[in-house]
A = this chain, B = another copy of it.
Amino acid sequence: MATDFWTAVKGRRSVYTLGKESTISDERIQEIVAEAVKHTPSAFNSQSTRLVLLLGEQHNKLWDITTSTLKAIVPADQFESTQQKMDGFRGAYGTVLFFEDESVIQGLQAAFAAYQDRFPVWSQHTSAMHQFVIWTALEAEGLGANLQHYNPLIDEQVKSEWKLPENWSLVAQLVFGKPTAAPGDKEFKPVEERLKVFK
């Protein structure tokens, strides 16, 4: 499905009302994630991003892990709203987990010592660009998605559950599914306060 670049960028929203259905096949979802990891830029072309796509029961398991992790630390009398939020994520179709491979970052730090403080920051930039591409691409296919950050709370259990390399560091979780309601209007601060032009 061809969508104009700006139509896709402007159409990207945080959608929280997601159902356990998809508008596209699992194969197409996997293709989108694979194309994103192939074509999104990375600092020094390090290709440091690692992605995990969870569908079906594997997606449910992620949110069960997150729910039980939070249950252990959120006061019981405040847990109801957390439980509702978790139920919302679990009720979606799938999740993309974004990791950065720390061994790649350490390799860059060793090779280019002058920038060793910068590589961890640029690695975060790299991850964020991948998050944006997949978020926008999935929504261009009629899905809704929202970006979560339950790292580092869930990192160890996630790595253990899916037997992921120890050097993969979790950065974000993109939850997606078929939207069950339209999101509200976007609010914008005036652009003239955020952009200056000198020519």
* A interface residues with partner B (beta carbon < 8 Å): 2-10, 12, 14, 26, 30, 33-41, 45, 47, 49-56, 58, 118, 121-122, 124-129, 131-133, 135-137, 140, 147, 149, 162, 164, 172, 186-189, 191, 194-199
Contact = CB atoms under 8 A, between A and B. Distances in A.
A20 B198 CA distance: 16
Number of identical monomers bound together in the oligomeric complex: 2
17 contacts: A2-B5, A3-B5, A5-B5, A5-B136, A5-B140, A9-B40, A14-B41, A34-B191, A38-B188, A47-B188, A54-B199, A55-B198, A55-B199, A124-B125, A125-B128, A126-B128, A132-B132
A199 B56 contact: yes
Nearest to A47: B189
A162 B199 CA distance: 11
Given A12-B41, A41-B14, A51 B125 contact: no
Contacts of A129: 128-129, 131-132
B132 A194 contact: no
Contacts of A122: 149
A65 to B, nearest CB: 13
A6 to B, nearest CB: 7
A34 to B, nearest CB: 5
A197 B33 CA distance: 10
A119 to B, nearest CB: 11
